[in-house]
Amino acid sequence: MTKVKVLLAGGLAAALAAGVLYEQAPGFKRTPVQDQDLSVPGRHAVQAKAEFEPGGAVGRHTHPGEELSIVLEGQLQLEVDGQPARTIKAGESFFIPAGVVHAGKNTGSGKAVVFATYIVEKGKDVATPVK
C-alpha cells in the first residue's frame, strides 16, 4: 500500500510541476507529446506541440533547462531578452538557453505550429512565468 501512495504522490507532483507548461492562454494551445527520463541524472526531456491562432501569444517565461524548437507551420515572432525580436518561419528552428527570458507571438495571418523539446531539471516546473 505504501508503494502505491508513493507512486500516486510522485505522479501528482509531476503533474503539478508540468502544470505551468500546459496552462492555456487565449489563442494558444499546448499539447504534451511525451515526457521521458534521460541518462543524464536529474534531467528529463519533455516534448510538446504548441498551436498559436493569429495574434495568439505565450508571455515572458523561462525554463530550468534548454529549449529546442522548430516552427512547423506559419511564423512566430520570438523575443529573447538581450536580443532583437526576430521572426521564425516554417522550417526554421531556434534554441533558448536555460533560464533565459523569452516570449512568442504569432504575427502571421494563419495558424502557427511549433514543436518544442525541453531538456529540463526534474522536479521543477517546465516553464515559469516572468513579469
Q: What is the pLDDT of residues 48-96, one digit of tens each?
A: 999 999 999 999 999 999 999 999 999 999 999 999 999 999 999 999 9
Only one residue has cell 529540463, namely 120
Distances (CA, A) of 64 to 23, 47, 81, 87, 112: 17, 14, 16, 24, 25
- pTM reported for the whole predicted model: 0.81
The three three-digit cell numbers of residue 116, written as one number: 518544442
Cα-Cα end-to-end distance for the chain: 43
Q: What angle do CA 30, 34, 38 make, to 5 degrees?
A: 130
Neighbouring residues of 3: CB distance < 8 A, sequence distance ≥ 6: none
